[in-house]
Chains A and B, each alone.
Chain A
Amino acid sequence: MLRYLVAQSGDEIFRRRALLKTIQRSGRLAFTLVEHAFDHAFGPRINPFYHLGALSFFFFWVVTASGIYLFIFFETSIEGAYRSVEYLTHEQWYLGSVARSLHRYASDAMVIVVLLHLAREFVLDRYRGVRWYAWITGVLLLWFLYASGIGGYWLVWDRLAQYIAVVTAEWFDWLPIFGEPMARNFLNNAAVSDRFFSLLSFLHIGIPLFLLLGMWIHILRISVAKTNPPRAIMIGTLLALTVLSALYPALSQGPADLDTVVSVVRPDWFYLALYPLIDVWSPGVAWGIAGGGTLLLMILPWLPRRREAAAAVVSLPNCNGCGRCFADCPYSAVIMLPRTDGLPYDSQASVNPDLCTACGICVGACPTATPFRRKTELIAGIDMPLLAIRTIREKTLTATTKLEGQDRVLVYGCQPGIDLTGLAQKGVGVLTLPCVAALTPSFIDFVITRHHADGVMLVGCAAGDCYHRLGVDWTEQRLAGQRDPYLRGRVPRERIATAWVAPSGAKRLTQALDAFRSRLRDMGPYQKGGSLPPPSASPSSNHGEVSDAAYRLG
């Protein structure tokens, strides 16, 4: 019986996983298609789809700034509210109306990017395992976001606000929490009070402040969170929203009058999509959708849960306490502690396995993870149990031994990125790492200067969209000598190529590889202290984002 049950639940988990995979795969395909188009227009570095969380922050600030301006003129009384907003819209069309419209439209923009951000983290499977924290806090943010926006519409005290007031009250009255129905506050004009209205104004400042606090909590567990999108898309979106505000200003829908019933409303569907359901179906159903939806999102990271690969492990005898792993871990999983083993260093690294995604980026940062050390003693200060540095060294050698010709390339790829199995061929070896930044630059040195291959190609996620957040940035900075551990000067740069590719870039990756190999053939074999490359053979042609964007290093 027990075995039957176990088998059953095993089946169940399997089915769930299969369903999940299907949803994720189709979602990913949809995102890939759209992002591909955006890559063409924006280039991968400023593709807005790679900065959805940061854009959410940006729109929040736009809403805040415009909101502060509106608040200067806003009157928090029932009579004054509508009047003051009308004043801003019509008398102060040059500034007040623009601020009002920006306030509205940036709030709408925030809903769009937040929902896309949610969907994207989901389809990329970045919501389970150690990331449950960002996911759960994100779900809570949705409530604060919606409460902020709906509260804002309420303050205008026009017909839409009246509709919102009455329906919200009826919706909350369904919950058995209020002694007296809240809807009694909006029975007719005589029933509304200035006091209730002041409370609303107060809430419309308080809830967004909690939203901000929540946004800060949301990114607490990752390091160097990108809370500012690239300047180009800040300017672009702000400009576009301002043009919209000027051409199509936000308007009120006539003064509220509780003695008559609202017949036709023009809701802001970004915030109020659920509202018609409250009266078409019932408050209970609407609660079921909102509450049930929230609950489902909340338990999603455990349906089924993802176990990360074994966490990074510190080997104290090999750790000199330099702190580079601490600086580079994208998930704040490494901390530096006072030295405990008597070695003459101040500190030592320590990994919190509950935060570690096994990306290996810390290993790529560790100066002790170098293949030049003798194989017998090759244990890095920090190492991945499933792919130890010694194994990477061995695999590097295996992948290169059979290569022939003058255009032998070893491709280091990353596991969450584009599938590289098709790339391996005569003259090309492939080694997949958890993240491209899990490789210390000394490996590149090793492969080229020891003649294991004629060139090294690093393949990672689309620039700006690194699955492990910072892998591409760190790799570029290491290659450019801007970040420890950097690539030694003796390594000829023209023998290194990088390709930051989205999953849709397979064909262009092949082209980039072919072009690289043809250049290697022209160069001939690597010679120690060999000729410096002529200036024209600048390495820029070796670095591709496999898009039309021009490459810029660092």
Chain B
Amino acid sequence: MLKKIMRYSGQGLFYGLFVSVIGYFSVAPAYVHFPADQALIKVSFSHAGQPLEECRVRTAEELEKLPPNMRVPVVCGRERSPVKFELELDGELLYRAELPPAGLSRDGASTVYQRFAVPAGRYRLRTRLNDSVRVPDFNYTQETDVTVVPGQVFVVDFNAHTGGFVFK
């Protein structure tokens, strides 16, 4: 009898231990993923740079040599320019990158995804982007004053169709 009680309490003990371990480690210890007093600037866009070379109009002789079904008057190279991007915070460079076009023939979009943790507060933000090797300077620039609160996610996106940088 005593032996039986001992056995069952032993089993109870092990079951208790088992579910305690499960209960505890399924939510603890907590983990600090991001400092509570900071904000996060996410830079992310996907933008296809302009063609590397300017499109060219074929001459009449050139067209003559081609089979009739391939006589397209304008030829454009497929390869795209890399996209140059810069992010400045209060006049200081935070991030600079030259983003290569995707794809084996380098004809895809240039993409970026970067995160920057910054202390909450007010900043002067300047972003600049160049998407053509044929343009010497940045062809998109945007500057703004932002105030970020702790925990805020501030997104810097880019969309050429809507006129350039999008801050959210």
When the two chains form their complex, are residues B151 and A180 in contact, meaning their CB atoms are under 8 A apart? no
B16 lies within 8 A of A240 (CB): yes
Number of A interface residues in the complex (CB < 8 A): 49
Contact partners of B40 in chain A: CB under 8 A: 261
> Is there a chain A Cβ closer than 8 Å to B135's Cβ?
no
A251 to B28, CA, bound (A): 13
A263 at the interface (CB under 8 A from B): yes
A104 to B26, CA, bound (A): 8
Q: Does B129 contact A (CB under 8 A)?
A: no
Smallest CB separation, B7 vs chain A (Å): 6
For B26, give the chain A residue with the smallest CB separation: A268
Check A289 for interface membership: any CB of B closer than 8 A: no
Which of B17-25, B64-72, B76-84 forms contacts with chain A? B17-25
CB atoms of A244 and B33 under 8 A apart = no
A263 to B37, CA, bound (A): 9
1/0 contact string of B123-155 vs chain A (CB within 8 Å): 000000000000000000000000000011101
CB-defined contacts of B44 to chain A, threshold 8 Å? 181, 183-184, 187
Contact A263 B111 (CB under 8 A): no
Which residues of chain B come closer than 8 Å to A523, judged between CB atoms? none
Do A42 and B31 form a contact, CB below 8 Å, given A180-B109, A261-B40? no
Contact B11 A105 (CB under 8 A): no
Q: Report whether A266 and B46 are in contact in the complex, using a CB–CB cutoff of 8 Å.
A: no
Closest chain B residue, CB of each to CB of A251 = B27
Are B113 and A105 neighbours in the complex by a CB distance under 8 Å?
A: no
Residues of chain B within 8 A of A77, CB atoms compared: none
Cα A38 to Cα B30 with chains together (Å): 31
- Whether A260 lies near B25 (C-beta < 8 A) is no
Given contacts A187-B157, A263-B34, A267-B31, A240 and B15 within 8 Å (CB-CB): yes
Asked whether, in the complex, the Cβ of B31 is within 8 Å of the Cβ of A244, the reply is: no
1/0 contact string of A246-276 vs chain B (CB within 8 Å): 0010110000001111111111111000001
Query: With A105-B22, A181-B113, A187-B42 as given contacts, are A261 and B15 in contact (CB-CB < 8 Å)?
Result: no
| B32 touches A (CB below 8 Å) | yes
Given contacts A180-B109, A265-B31, A267-B31, could you give 17 more A-B pairs where the C-beta distance is less than 8 Å?
A41-B13, A43-B7, A170-B113, A179-B109, A181-B112, A184-B111, A241-B22, A261-B40, A262-B34, A263-B32, A263-B35, A263-B36, A264-B30, A264-B32, A266-B31, A276-B31, A548-B7
B→A interface (CB under 8 Å): 3, 7, 10-11, 13-16, 18-19, 21-23, 25-28, 30-36, 39-40, 42, 44, 46, 102-103, 108-109, 111-113, 151-153, 155, 157, 168
A/B interface sample: 16 pairs, CB < 8 A: A42-B11, A48-B14, A105-B22, A108-B22, A109-B18, A179-B109, A183-B44, A184-B46, A236-B15, A237-B15, A244-B23, A261-B39, A263-B36, A264-B33, A265-B33, A266-B31
